[in-house]
Amino acid sequence: MFAPDQWPAYYSSANGVKVTDLDGNEYVDMSHMGVGSCILGYGDADVDEAASTALEHGVMSTLNPPEEVELAERLIAMHDWADMVRLGRPGGEAVAMAIRLARAYTGNETVAFCGYHGWHDWYLAANLDTETNLEEHLLPGLDPSGVPNSLEGTSKPFRYNDIEELERIACQNDLAAVIMEPIRSEQPEDDFFDRIQALTARTDVPLIIDEITAGFRVRAGGYHERIGAEPDIAVYGKAIGNGYPISAVVGKEHVMDEAQESFISSTFWTERIGPSAALTTIEKFSREGVGDHLVTIGNMITQGWEDLAEDHGLPIETKGIKPLTAFEIEHDDAQAAKTLFAQEMLDYGYLAGNSVYTSYAHTAPVVERYLEAVDQVFDLIAEALKTESVYDSLDGPVAHTKFERLN
């Protein structure tokens, strides 16, 4: 995904924004920070202390840990529309849980979706009738091998800000749910969510907002609150545990109560470490104003990219919310140039691609030093594009695009 045959695969330690590989090489992570999970930075002392305390008192029992109730109460208090919480561990599992609840509530099967929602059968079924359905949401050309053919037609994609497309799907199908990410590479149009909510309210179809990536970035809680949307269910993961596995399905009683009828269960949903880590992460996020910090750092990075690209005549476009900022090189050889960027940044001691998931451990001095390296690398890339020598400059193959998020 970054620089094949060059990017280190395994780490021996990680702390703050620094990662050490198995050969003892130390890098500053200016990429995805644990696939977006380490919002406070690697090995945050407060979260690790909470996890350690959980270990001391036992992480599993025939009885349930009180931390799961505390976390549910905290999440409900953060959402004035919510009544109930169901905790999970992986994010994709939590989304699958939300889909099950919505299908149980409506008695219907077809799901309209927009964005990335995991690897489970309900989602990959979109590619059973054509392999292009997920191209604008997850992976181009993804083969749904192993997904039952009987699920064909049960997942229908619609594009962000294309309310007419969603309305057509709703007219042609009895929907079980509408699920979407609250924000993508573009801002929502003024009436986009108003019209979605009007549609789901009129048809009594649950609206599920997948906050696994966008949640706990700009503010404590979900990005849907910033844009004035009120879902029936919001799903959280990644950032709420700062690297410890924990996810949450937060919802209104009339949908969530379906969990009393449909069998939804897991042994490890009641282990103690995940909720303990989440409680401390959420508390620190709010106390320290982490959301404002992430936006500030994201602005610094984005502005730095834009200024340096202009200085060197490198055509780029920046996109995404500031805590999840990204750039695209606008050129026919963009993928090779992106690979060259990752390759050269490794030499400067950075794990860096064309996107940064900012964390509380990213400070202004860290960004300033990073941009000094970017200055040198943007200059090299601009010259390589000008002289058509990008491919000759690579020390390995061009990074593949099969797992590249397009939203």
pLDDT digits (tens, 9 = 90+) for 87-143: 999 999 999 999 999 999 999 999 999 999 999 999 999 988 876 666 665 555 567
Distance CA 73, CA 84 (A): 9
Q: How confident is the model at residue 144 (pLDDT cuts 50, 70, 90)?
A: confident
Distance CA 261, CA 239 (A): 30
Q: Which of 271, 297, 325 is the last residue of a domain?
A: 271
* Residue 236 placed within a domain: yes
* Residue 405 placed within a domain: no
Residue 377 has pLDDT above 80, yes or no: yes
Percent of the chain with pLDDT over 90: 91
CB neighbourhood size of 33 (10 A)? 27
Percent of the chain with pLDDT over 70: 96
Residue 62 has pLDDT above 90, yes or no: yes
Contact of 234 with 250, CB cutoff 8 Å = yes
**Do both 119 and 193 map to the same domain?**
yes
174-179 mean pLDDT: 98
**Do both 301 and 387 map to the same domain?**
yes
**DSSP annotation string for 318-360:** EES-TTEEEEEE-STTHHHHHHHHHHHHHHTTEEE-SEEE--T
Contact of 79 with 174, CB cutoff 8 Å = no
Closest Cα to residue 110, out of 158, 144, 76, 70? 158
Instruction: State the pLDDT at residue 117.
Output: 94
Contact of 144 with 188, CB cutoff 8 Å = no
Instruction: State the pLDDT at residue 384.
Output: 98
Find tokens 């709703």 and name the residue: 170
* Tally of CA atoms within 13 A in the half-sphere of 80 that contains its CB: 3
**Do both 123 and 200 map to the same domain?**
yes
Average pLDDT, the chain: 94
Handedness of CA 86, 161, 187, 381 (dihedral sign): positive
Instruction: State the pLDDT at residue 127.
Output: 87
**Do both 33 and 110 map to the same domain?**
no
Task: Name the amino acid, one letter, at 277.
Answer: A
**What are the structure tokens assigned to 399, written together?**
């990074």
Contact of 84 with 251, CB cutoff 8 Å = yes
* Residue 227 placed within a domain: yes
Q: Which of 241, 271, 301 is the last residue of a domain?
A: 271
DSSP-based three-state secondary structure for 121: helix
Per-residue pLDDT reduced to its tens digit, 324-372: 999 999 999 999 999 999 999 999 999 999 999 999 999 999 999 999 9
**Do both 29 and 121 map to the same domain?**
no
pTM, rounded to two decimals: 0.94
Residue 19 has pLDDT above 90, yes or no: yes
Residue 22 is classified by DSSP as: T
Per-residue pLDDT reduced to its tens digit, 284-329: 999 999 999 999 999 999 999 999 999 999 999 999 999 999 999 9
Distance of CA 333 to the CA centre of its chain: 27
DSSP-based three-state secondary structure for 6: coil
Distance CA 397, CA 391 (A): 9
Instruction: State the pLDDT at residue 169.
Output: 97
Higher pLDDT: 67 or 401? It is 67
Residue 245 has pLDDT above 90, yes or no: yes
**Do both 74 and 211 map to the same domain?**
yes
What's the structural domain count of the chain? 2
**Do both 101 and 209 map to the same domain?**
yes
Q: Which domain holds residue 357?
A: 11-43+289-393
251-274 mean pLDDT: 95
Residue 186 has pLDDT above 90, yes or no: no
Distance of CA 49 to the CA centre of its chain: 25
* Residue 401 placed within a domain: no
**Do both 219 and 361 map to the same domain?**
no
**What are the structure tokens assigned to 364, written together?**
């202004």
CA angle (300, 321, 338) in 5-degree steps: 70
**Do both 106 and 239 map to the same domain?**
yes
Closest Cα to residue 359, out of 371, 367, 347, 369? 367
Residue 260 has pLDDT above 50, yes or no: yes
271-288 mean pLDDT: 98
259-280 mean pLDDT: 95
**Do both 208 and 301 map to the same domain?**
no
Phi, psi of 335, deg, nearest 5: -65, -40
Residue 405 has pLDDT above 60, yes or no: no
Question: Is residue 24 packed enough to be buried (19+ CB in 10 Å), middle (13-18) or exposed (0-12)?
Answer: exposed
Q: How confident is the model at residue 407 (pLDDT cuts 50, 70, 90)?
A: very low
Q: How confident is the model at residue 404 (pLDDT cuts 50, 70, 90)?
A: very low
Instruction: State the pLDDT at residue 143.
Output: 76
**Do both 306 and 196 map to the same domain?**
no
